[in-house]
Structure 1
Amino acid sequence: MTRVQKTVFILAAVVAVIIGLTVHRVLQDNREGVNTAFIDAGIILLPEHRSVPAVTMTDQDGKPVQLDELKGKWSVLFFGYTFCPDICPTTLAQLRQVKSELAPAVAARLQVVLVSVDPNRDTPQQLKQYLGYFDKEFRGFTGDGDSLQKLANGLSMPYIPADTSQPNYIVQHSGNLALLGPDGTQRGFVRAPLNGQKLVAQLPALVQRD
């Protein structure tokens, strides 16, 4: 196992511990069943809000974007890539379906962002074309390796940078989603695999939170 792989493995283990402890704490503290319903839907809220690393990325239109620009809505960040053979298209298709089943007022308070873990191939043009197959309102971010690693680490979204010298390489990454609140802080995670029906049932209550 390489040094990078060891680091990612450790980070993934830490994420699992964070989620496990958060679930335990919520179950201990909650008496009304609301957070329990969130957990059943895979929505894991952190006990305290976490600041998001201040990095500059590039969006699907080729424009520089700060993470602060996501403020005002609830944001779901998925760290994946357009050449992914399985989990990425499946997840994006599920998010498209969830969005289509939400009331318009609820859907308007949510935004989906694909953060590419494959900046070598995922140009802004590639991101825009790919996301257009799912939902033209989905956003895509790409950036240099250092900024991407800083953002992924800050949001506890582990991935293993690929050996880009190999043909048809794949990138190992988490299937979880990072959940950001309207204030731009990380509020938690949406745990993989996604349960579309339960998310549709619980997201209206989530977006009513500040």
Structure 2
Amino acid sequence: MWSLWRRCSSDARAGIRSLLRSAGAAQESGHRALQAGRLAPATSSSSSSSWSRSAREFSSKASSSSRIPPQALSYGSLAVLMATGGGIAAYYRYLREEHVKEVKNLPSSGKAAVGGPWTLVGPNGQAFDSKSLEGEFSLLYFGFTFCPDICPDELEKIAESVDLVEKLTKRKVRPVFITIDPERDSTEIVNEYCEEFHPRLLGLTGSAEQIKRVTRLFRVYFSKTNDSAEDYLIDHSIISYLVDPEGNFVKFFGKNSTANDMAMEMKRFVDNWKNAHRNY
């Protein structure tokens, strides 16, 4: 192309430039007319009249297509609201799942960075420390007496599992309920609650600071779910912790574990303990 351009005379080049400028000016004028939604009045030329009608039709279609219907605004606002709410809920679930993963990633047997010495309030209103459980296996569960369904289901499962272990091994596993709601769960309330599930279920409460300490030791997640100071539920991790006769954490059981699963696994630990400790 550039070799042909160089071969043209200066007059020819000037003529070509003039034609190009004219075409560009016409194109720009037509573009401005389309934006304004109209062209200049029709001339005597039929082609000019046809071009004017086409331009008006195009401009009308462009204008109508660029107009945003009210429904789009409503749907868009709803979508933003749903996305925001979904994001908050997803983040909350993420925090809870990460906390549960933290416990699940612990070794299922042997010593682990969970558990430790603690002091709470026992059934008689006196101080009760973790050493009082030593000498036998204990199965600890953290919950609250106002729990509508999860805690009762888990405590019934725990009661069934410890009875089954006793039948299989002739050794007792002590079930323990530790409240995570010390504001409402007094000693009397906890005692009455535990009697409903098992005669040997030990109920423990304590001050808010004592509960905070023991839940941190066992990495228990819990959080109030409504704003009311009196009428609220507590979202919490659903895990039972098996502790050996020396007070060491050895195994945890999640919500999906059945009473039979728990009993057979606890039997294994009891049998191993018997073999290693002849005086047990």
* TM band (smaller chain): 0.7 to 0.9
User: What is the CA–CA distance in structure 1 between the aligned matches of 2:106 and 2:196, rounded to whole Å?
Assistant: 37
Which of 72, 95, 98 aligns to 1:13? It is: 98
Match of 2:140 among 61, 66, 77: 77
Letter of the 2:216 counterpart: N
Give the 5 Å matches for 1:198-209. 198-209=261-272
Q: Is the 8 A contact 2:168 2:267 kept in 1?
A: no
The 2-side partners of 1:21 and 1:155 are apart by 11
Q: TM-score, normalised by structure 2?
A: 0.58
User: 1:125 Cα deviation (Å)?
Assistant: 0.9
Give the number of the structure with larger relative contact order, counting CA–CA contacts within 8 Å between residues 6 or more apart: 1
Distance 1:188 1:64 in 2: 26
> Cα distance 1:161–1:70, how it changes in 2: closer, same or farther (>3 A)?
farther
1:136 corresponds to which of 195, 199, 211: 199
Q: State the TM-score, normalizing by the size of structure 1.
A: 0.75
Aligned to 2:158: 95
Equivalent pairs counted in the alignment come to 184
C-alpha distance in structure 2 between counterparts of 1:186 and 1:78, whole Å: 13
CA RMSD of aligned residues (A): 2.8
Unaligned runs of 5+ in 2: 1-90, 274-280
- Describe the SS at the equivalent of 2:251: strand
Residue of 152, 162, 181 corresponding to 2:215: 152
> Paired residue for 1:115?
178
| CA displacement, residues 25-76 of structure 1 (integer Å, 9 cap, x when unaligned) | xxxxxxxxxxxxxxxxxxxx24534463433210122121001111111111
Counterpart of 1:190 in structure 2 is 253
Report how far residue 173 of structure 1 moved. Answer: 1.0
| Residue of structure 1 equivalent to 2:67 | none
Q: Structure 2 vs 1, CA of residues 124 and 168 (structure 1 numbering), >3 Å: closer, same or farther?
A: same
- 1:143 and 1:162 map into 2 onto residues whose CA distance is 21
Structure (1/2) with the larger strand percentage: 1
More helix per residue: 1 or 2?
A: 2
Aligned to 1:3: none
Distance 1:46 1:11 in 2: 24
What runs of 5+ residues in structure 1 fail to find an aligned partner? Answer: 1-5, 23-44
SS of the residue aligned with 2:272?
A: coil
Structure number with larger C-alpha Rg: 2
**Shift of the alpha carbon at 1:154?**
1.0
Deviation at 1:21, TM superposition (A): 6.2
Does the 8 Å contact 2:166/2:172 carry over to 1? no
1:93–1:134 CA contact under 8 A, matched in 2: yes
Amino acid at match of 1:83: F
- Distance (whole Å) between structure 2 residues aligned to residue 153 and residue 108 of structure 1: 30
Q: What percentage of residue pairs aligned between the two structures are identical?
A: 21
- Taking the aligned partners of 2:141 and 2:153, their CA distance within structure 1 comes to 12
Instruction: Using the TM superposition, give the Cα deviation of residue 161 of structure 1 relative to its aligned residue in structure 2, in angstroms.
Output: 4.7
| Equivalent AA in structure 1 for residue 189 of structure 2 | Q
